[in-house]
Amino acid sequence: MKITHGMVVSMQYELTDENNDTLDATEDGELFTYLHGHGNIIPGLEKGLEGLSVGAKPHIIVHPAQGYGERDPEAQIEVPREQFPDDADLAPGDRVSIDSPEGEKIFTIAQLDEASVILDGNHPLAGMILHFDIEVADVRPATEEELEHGHAHSGDDHHH
C-alpha cells in the first residue's frame, strides 16, 4: 500500500539539523503514527512521504517554508521580570505559557536579567532546514472514526 490521503502511516524517524545534531527521534521499537493528508505533520515531511510504501527509508529535507516557517523577529517580546513569581526558576531555553486575549501561547525564554525576560514566540525549529531519516513501518487505510476525528487512533484508545 502506498502513502496517500486518508492512510494511517506508522514510522520511525530521526530528525537532525544542518550540523547533523539530533533534534528528535523515535525510541528503538517505538513508532510515530499519523493520518496522512490531514495536517498532522509539517507539510514538507508529508509531501516527502507521499507515494511511499512499507520498508521505504527516505532522507527528506524540509526547508523552513514547508516546516515551521522562517524566524520572525517581531515574535519576541520583553516582559518585566516581576510578571513571573519570585521563586520561578527561569533559564534561557525554558518554555513558558502565557495567557493572552487569543488564548494560551507558548514562548521560549531567549534572555533574562534581573529586570526583564525576553520571550520568543517562534517555534523552536523555525528558520531551520530539517533533515528527516525515515523508515516506513506500516501503511493502512484509516477507519471512518479516524477520518471523522482527523487523526490516527492507536490501539483501543479512541477517547479524546
Domains and CATH numbers, the chain: 7-64+126-149 (3.10.50.40), 73-120 (2.40.10.330)
- What does the chain come to in residues? 160
pTM: 0.84
Q: pLDDT-derived band of residue 155, with 50, 70 and 90 as boundaries?
A: low
Cell matching residue 113: 536579567
In whole angstroms, give the CA distance from residue 97 to residue 107: 6
Q: Are 138 and 20 in contact (CB under 8 A)?
A: no
> What is the structure's pLDDT at 132?
98
> What is the structure's pLDDT at 150?
95
pLDDT, tens digit (0-9, with 9 covering 90-100), for 63-74: 999 999 999 999
Cell matching residue 83: 510578571
3-state secondary structure 12-49: EEEEECCCCCEEEECCCCCCEEEECCCCCCCHHHHHHH
> What is the structure's pLDDT at 61?
98
In whole angstroms, give the CA distance from residue 90 to residue 113: 10
Cell matching residue 124: 523552536
pLDDT, tens digit (0-9, with 9 covering 90-100), for 74-121: 999 999 999 988 888 899 999 998 888 888 989 999 999 989 999 999
